Structure 1
Amino acid sequence: MRTASRSILLPIFFFVFCFTAYCNEQRRIYIVYLGEHKGLKSPQEILKGHHSLLFSVKNSEEEASGAILYSYKHSINGFAALLTEEEATKLSQMEEVVSAFPSEGRSSPHTTRSWKFITQEEGSKGSEKNLIGSKAKCGKNVIVGMLDSGIWPESESFSDRGIRHFPKRWKGICQEGDAFNSSHCNNKIIGARYYVKSYEYYYGPLNKTYAYRSPRDNDGHGTHTASTVAGRAVRNVSALGGFAWGTATGGAPLARLAIYKVCWPIPGPNPNIENTCFDADMLAAFDDAIADGVHVISMSIGTTGEPPEYSKDSMAIGALHAAKRDIVVVCSAGNDGPGPATVTNLAPWMITVGASSVDRAFDSLVLLGNGVTIKGQTVTPYVLNSSHFYPLVYARDAVHPGIPSNISGQCLPNSLDGDKVRGKVVLCLRGSGLRVAKGLEVKRAGGAAIILGNAVASGNEIPVDAHVLPGTAVSSDDAIAILKYIDATRRPSAKVGSARTVLGVTPAPVMAAFSSRGPNRVEPSILKPDITAPGLNILAAWSESSSPTKLEDDHRSVKYDLYSGTSMSCPHVSAVAALLKSLYPDWSSAAIRSAMMTTATVENARGEALTDTSGRVAGPMDYGSGHIRPAHASDPGLVYDASYEDYLLFACSSIGAQMDPSFRCPETPPSPSDLNYPSIAVSHLNGSVTVRRTVTNVGRGPAKYRVTATEPTGVSVHILPQKLRFKRSGQRRRFSVTLKVRGRRDTPSGDYVAGSYTWSDGTHVVRSPIVVSLA
């Protein structure tokens, strides 16, 4: 704690310190948000204005000057400063201040097959039009800003071979630091910065054993996401052990990358495992990225706990300023599924992405002593001798005395008794602790191999891991079957086979269990997530400073690694946004979002309804509008557009607050449901409600569209007019959707029901989901 360290250095002020620390409020970093910069002001004038505001709550100009960490000086007007709660409250009450809120640490870390799978899944129409990659020149000269843990610039995925000159709009820099100088930027990585002030205030000086004080990535997460968006095509790559072998490529391989490192390791026993990204640092990165000239911002960053309202959410604030300049902001939905109301990144001016599977598996067979064969999955490079069976033990029966029964089967660190495990195959259950750490514990205790059993909530979803010993992972049903075999057998035994890569797995895609679900906890009238994309077992470039498991005791190094999470699905959508930006440079960020959402599919590759890992039919609270189809998104027919002013009006009605001090909320703002969004969400419907939408024809010429609807259970849908005629491209047409509760209802109050409506001209299919909860 900073104040405590000062008391050691200055003991003469011990009494003063005690009074300050315990009688007054603790200082912490607050973001004071003032909206948009107005007029032309120099950075010095802006900083002077921020000092003046601070001086109004501080004791001296010197104290005010010393309190500022960041002065946001480009698009975003505001600053990050050390304040007490009382000082922050006083500032928040000033007319020119939109909000003042603490800078929190957010959790970060919420491919050879995924891009090929997405285009194959689109079928014949996709093959006719795909063509999006070639039509969009592979994203050439589109700049994607990555807010993440940095980049490993030596990766072949970031070669600038054949790419010439910087885009004319680029105004950024290549910031130097530890093991990173200007030569590490090139015509592919055209800029790089890092932001560490807020992090170092909370945790002290960065421990350079675990992280570079520079844009260089020590973690792997940022390198992985950047190469998924815009990595060059690299042949003959694979994960450790040769798995997922093929050509690795990003979705927009000729797009440029601008790196903004905002995420840093959390000090602790395993500092490489988890990163944190502070609000004040991220808002500074947003401010720079907008000024630097990026077209797309990709953020695989989220938060846990209760989400803040939009005016106190640094990511929502940064994204709003980006949206005003038609910069597309894409964010991950979070990895806290499958429970309801777990989705994060909830503002309607950002695209929120869930995660689903691809049609690839890494099959490894488990043969039990009774002759039963169970199919697992793994990417461990280690192979168990298959010439004989090994004793099989459940971790619960092999722990040290005193381990609580509710966690005894989970192979947590130092829980296993070596005398009971040595030379055996150990069944461990998922739950608390890291999957790869469970394998490390089995190895520490002398086990021969691990079988990792899914929790019931994870169903058949199996994220694969490069374990430090032979092993495999199995579904929850198969884990139960193995447990029953162990309990019913005097001397249970098993073999664990090596893995092989299998393509064409069905059904696919399937919604990942970890993918966070709706409804939206800040504004239920906006459906989140918006869309889903591949996020399970994705291969992409990796930091050679990080091991494939990130465990401190794992000293292996890889150039490419398999990783899972909505952090991996987010950059898939960012890449498609970059391609669309290349195709349609004049389209707004809302139009690009609409194109992706209204052309998404709610069917798997077999033409059946999308399901989750348990086999249950999934719905809009799981996948939003559906699974992304890049080729279809390149020709959507109609789009739902929205402007900066539309978003400000939405905030007026949604949170009852102004997001821009220069904008005055009307006395009666439109309903949040009337924001021109590509989906419809209505909460606590009682009787009937009418929502209004406007579509813009982005086809090549005149068109006539007709509407059809699939009604939610217990709710009628009436759309007027039922036909829309467009005389030319760019023309707009309005319509209304009336939702009415039917007289007889079987749905409990508060439960959501889902339907959809679709406009079609015979060529284009423009689909929007409807979700309704009944009062």
Structure 2
Amino acid sequence: LSTAGGNLVAKASVLGFGQGTAKGGSPRARVAAYKVCWPPVSGDECFDADILAAFDVAIHDGVDVLSVSLGGDPTAFFNDSVAIGSFHAIKHGIVVVCSAGNSGPADGTVSNIAPWQITVGASTMDREFPSIVVLGNNMRYKGQSLSAKDLPDKKFYPLISAADTKAANASIENALLCQAGAIDPKKASGKILVCLRGQNARVDKGQQAALAGAVGMVLANNILSGNEIIADAHVLPASHINYTDGLAVFTYINSTKYPTAYITPVTTQIGTKPAPFMAAFSSKGPNTITPEILKPDITAPGVSVIAAYTEAQGPTNEDFDKRRVQFNCVSGTSMSCPHVSGIVGLLKTLYPNWSPAAIKSAIMTSATTWDNMKEPILNASTIKAGPFNYGAGHIQPNLAMDPGLVYDLAATDYLNFLCSLGYNETLISMFSEKPYKCPKRISLANFNYPSITVPNLVGSITVTRTVKNVGSPGSYRAQVQRPTGISVQVKPKKLKFKKVGEEKTFSVTLKVMKAHAVKEYVFGQLIWSDHVHYVSSPIVVKAV
């Protein structure tokens, strides 16, 4: 809530780190919170009845934006309470922003996949909290942490792999993961423990190390987490390092009889490069329910985000943590979602009459796929990311204010979308309230989304889109970056707008080039430009 709408607060910090003035995206907004998640009952904590009740009350209260940092596994829309609730909200002009989920980096993990939602992935920002691991051989590895406790300056301690501190009845795997009861205090006491990331909570590993008498912890990434390192409020001096650096630390331990190390105190650093890159945990496309709709839609900062925090719990959320903080640093798509909600609040203020689809289009078509090194945005394994990671790209609020053109959609378009999926009248009535008669012929390919996705291209397909001018009069020309092995033809190549609100329709023909066909997803881009605005849409194609 504070990320989306928090007021300006001077001297905010987490345990003294990241000090500055904190503010939310729409700092003067009025806010309302609706509780939908409760202590778990047989593993479930956010029940459909509560979620739908909250949507009902929010619609009744007349909110402008709903920030929904929750979701389950992707499922058909008629089974999805967030999809049903958000459909009713958009009919009332309320923009609904949802988290993509934290089940990455595997493909097809993205949830909240309805086209009427803005679905947000998580990427890093250019601030970090470095803490250096210095080995006895003078090698230095930069990790991150928010440990309030420091080790004495430059004093070396024995360094040990947590696997070598295995308790008698524990497995090597559980010891390496620093799980409860797996570490023998006789072997760990007075040492810096190297724990592997995975399974149990990162901060819990530090707690287990501390309980066993360790003086510090190095948390090393597993291969899946790659370069995604997260600053946590550890209970002992600790530093979280990436996968390659972790391998180097384990290699050093095995190469010498008396491995030693120290961990430097945490500092706050801004201007990190490269930034942003995609978080490994951020859920990815393709959309497993309707692959013709690209999800996520957008990415925003979701790693080590500082925001207001409850004093009902400690900064680690663990029962053992008796500390209390007014601000905390947390990672997840639940942190990136309210960044976008705050920006939507500002756009709503500027353009109170824009539809939720127009606002979403403005955010998507003005996004960037480049980082602060002017290189393509990477994923956590330093491989080039793509639309299944970040959707249209990383959000650029100032450019979203003046998008030039928008791809608009109304509630009936979304109902026709459900018709195209073969939903019958009974299922559609869950969304439409009153009976809705589906039109005779309807094509999912021509659904006016700000991205173009063709999951099963045989030969060629022509899709149409309509753009509405929301800027000054002008002429836009089409520029195409074509996906590998696919030819792209846009007709007409030029669109001339004489007034605000004017709409123009164009077609895009995608054709498989036999000699160069690739049997996996390939990506391109369509950009309409008048040299002031660059209205860009991802093109996502898979030839069969």
Alignment of 1:472-621 (within 5 A): 472-621=239-388
Task: Give the 3-state SS of the residue equivalent to 1:261 in structure 2.
Answer: coil
| Secondary structure of residue in 2 paired with 1:756 | strand
SS state of the match for residue 167, structure 2? Answer: coil
Question: Radius of gyration: which is bigger?
Answer: 1
Encode CA deviations 1:478-531: one digit per residue, 9 max, x unaligned. Answer: 110000011111111111111100110101111111110000011000000000
- Tell me the alpha carbon deviations over residues 56-114 of structure 1, each in whole angstroms, 9 at most, x when there is no partner: xxxxxxxxxxxxxxxxxxxxxxxxxxxxxxxxxxxxxxxxxxxxxxxxxxxxxxxxxxx
User: Does residue 1:260 correspond to 2:42, yes or no?
Assistant: no
Match of 1:446 among 206, 213, 219: 213
Amino acid at match of 1:228: T
State the partner residue of 1:228: 3
Moved over 4 A (4+): none
- Contact in 2 for aligned 1:394/1:483 (Cα 8 Å): yes
Among 454, 457, 464, the alignment partner of 1:685 is: 457
Give CA-to-partner distance per residue, 1:589-639, whole Å, 9 cap, x none: 000000000000111122211111221111101100000010100000000
2-structure distance, mates of 1:350, 1:560: 29
CA RMSD of aligned residues (A): 1.3
Judged with a 3 Å threshold, the aligned counterparts in structure 2 of structure 1 residues 339 and 251 are, in CA distance, closer, same or farther, namely same
**2:119 maps to which residue?**
352
Q: Provide the C-alpha distance between the structure 2 equivalents of 1:373 and 1:296, rounded to a whole number of angstroms.
A: 46
Residues in 1 aligned to 2:320 and 2:505: alpha-carbon distance in whole angstroms? 61
Alpha-carbon shift at residue 667 of structure 1 (Å): 3.5
- Higher-RCO chain (CA-CA 8 Å, sequence separation at least 6): 2
CA deviations over 1:325-349 (Å, ceiling 9, x no partner)? 1110000000111110010000000
- 243 and 713 in structure 1: CA distance in 2 versus 1, 3 angstrom threshold: same
How far did 1:673 drift?
A: 2.1
Matched, 1:651 2:418: yes
Task: Name the CA distance, whole Å, in 1 between partners of 2:45 and 2:214.
Answer: 34
Relative to structure 1, the CA distance from residue 267 to residue 283 in structure 2 (aligned partners, 3 Å threshold; closer, same or farther) is closer
Match of 1:717 in 2: 488
Counterparts of 1:246 and 1:267 in 2: how far apart (Å)? 40
Query: In the TM superposition, what whole-angstrom CA distance separates every residue of 1:247-293 from its partner, at most 9, and x where no partner exists?
Result: 1100100011011011123379xxxxx98211110001101111110
Distance in 2, Cα, partners of 1:411 & 1:586: 54
Cα displacement (A) at 1:392: 0.8
**Cα displacement (A) at 1:690:** 1.1
* Secondary structure in 1 matching 2:131: strand
SS at match of 1:280: helix
Which deviates more from structure 2 when the two are superposed, residues 509-518 or residues 659-668? 659-668
CA distance in 1, matches of 2:318, 2:335: 20
Q: How does 1:68-87 map to 2 (within 5 A)?
A: none
Residues 163 and 173, structure 2, Cα contact 8 Å, conserved in 1:
no
The one-letter code matched in structure 2 to 1:229 is A
Q: Could you tell me whether the CA contact under 8 Å between 2:100 and 2:282 is conserved in 1?
A: yes
Question: Which of 49, 69, 83 is the matching residue for 1:280?
Answer: 49
Distance 1:419 1:662 in 2: 71
Q: Is the 8 A contact 2:216 2:237 kept in 1?
A: yes
Helix, strand or coil: the match of 1:266?
strand
Query: What TM-score results when the alignment is normalised by the length of structure 1?
Result: 0.68
Paired letter, 2:70: I
Letter aligned with residue 756 of structure 1: Q
Q: Distance in 1 between matches of 2:171 and 2:76?
A: 39
SS at match of 1:509: coil
Assess if the C-alpha contact under 8 Å between 1:548 and 1:557 holds in 2: yes
Provide the secondary structure at the position in 2 that maps to 1:480: helix
C-alpha distance in 2 between matches for 1:419 and 1:257:
52
The 5-angstrom pairing of residues 102-121 of structure 1 reads none
CA distance in 1, matches of 2:424, 2:61: 29
Match of 1:102 in 2: none
Q: Which residue in 1 is equivalent to 2:69?
A: 300
- Aligned match of 1:316: 83
Partner of 2:476: 705
Query: Do the aligned residues in 1 keep the contact of 2:167 with 2:175 (CA within 8 Å)?
Result: no
Aligned to 1:772: 541
What secondary structure is seen at the aligned counterpart in 2 of 1:525? coil
Report the equivalent of 1:389: 156
Indicate which of 439, 442, 463 corresponds to 1:666.
439
Instruction: Give the distance between the partners of 2:40 and 2:325, measured in 1 at CA.
Output: 23
Counterpart selection for 1:289 from 33, 51, 58: 58
What is the alpha-carbon distance in structure 2 between the residues aligned to residue 312 and residue 410 of structure 1? 37
Q: Residue deviations 1:121-156, cap 9 Å, x none?
A: xxxxxxxxxxxxxxxxxxxxxxxxxxxxxxxxxxxx
2: CA distance, partners of 1:506 / 1:609: 13
Is 1:244 the counterpart of 2:244 in the alignment?
no
Distance in structure 1 (CA, Å) of the matches to 2:346 and 2:238? 40
Question: In the TM superposition, what is the alpha-carbon distance from 1:404 to its structure 2 partner?
Answer: 2.8
Report deviation, 1:774.
1.5
1:726 Cα deviation after fit: 1.2
Q: Secondary structure of 1:374's partner?
A: strand
- Distance in 2, matches of 1:519 and 1:404, equals 37
Letter in 2 for 1:732: E
Please tell me the residue identity of whatever aligns with 2:265: S
SS at match of 1:258: coil
For 1:621 and 1:663, locate their aligned partners in 2 and report how far apart those are by CA, in whole Å. 33
- 1:471 and 2:258 equivalent? no
- Cα separation, 2, equivalents of 1:256 and 1:675: 34
Amino acid aligned to 2:129: F
- Equivalenced residue count is 538
1:762 matched residue in structure 2? 531
Measure the CA separation in 2 of the matches of 1:550 and 1:657. 45
Distance 2:154 2:87 in 1: 61
Q: Is the 8 A contact 1:309 1:655 kept in 2?
A: no
Contact 2:17 2:268 (8 Å CA) reproduced: yes
User: What per-residue deviation string (whole Å, max 9, x for no partner) do you get for residues 195-237 of structure 1?
Assistant: xxxxxxxxxxxxxxxxxxxxxxxxxxxxxxx000010000011
Distance 1:320 1:476 in 2: 42
Does the 8 A contact of 1:526 with 1:673 survive in 2? no
Counterparts of residues 106-145 of structure 1 (less than 5 Å): none
Structure 1 CA distance, aligned partners of 2:294 and 2:7? 34
The 1:368/1:267 distance shift into structure 2, 3 A limit, reads farther
Cα distance between partner residues in 2 of 1:355 and 1:489: 40
Report the 3-state secondary structure (helix = DSSP H, G, I; strand = E; otherwise coil) of the residue aligned with 1:576. Answer: helix
Of 508, 516, 532 in structure 2, the residue corresponding to residue 737 of structure 1 is 508
Structure-2 separation of matches of 1:711 and 1:689: 15
Instruction: Read off the aligned partner of 1:744 and give its amino acid letter.
Output: A
Measured against aligned partners, the alpha-carbon deviations of 1:444-492 in whole angstroms (never above 9, x if no partner) come to: 1111101000111111111111111111110010110000011111111
Taking the aligned partners of 1:654 and 1:275, their CA distance within structure 2 comes to 29
Partner residue, 1:404: 171
Measure, in 2, the Cα distance between the counterparts of 1:656 and 1:571. Answer: 32
* 2:100 aligned partner: 333
C-alpha displacement of 1:387:
4.7
Amino acid in structure 1 at the alignment position of 2:438:
C
- Give the residue type in structure 2 aligned to 1:313: D
SS of alignment partner, residue 129 of structure 2: strand
Residue 467 (structure 2) aligns with: 695
For residue 743 of structure 1, report the CA deviation from its aligned partner: 1.5
Q: Is the CA contact 1:411–1:438 (under 8 Å) kept in the aligned structure 2?
A: yes
In 1, Cα distance between the equivalents of 2:48 and 2:248? 46
Which secondary structure does the structure 2 equivalent of 1:458 belong to? Answer: coil
Structure 2 residue identity aligned to 1:678: P
In the alignment, what sits opposite 2:139?
372
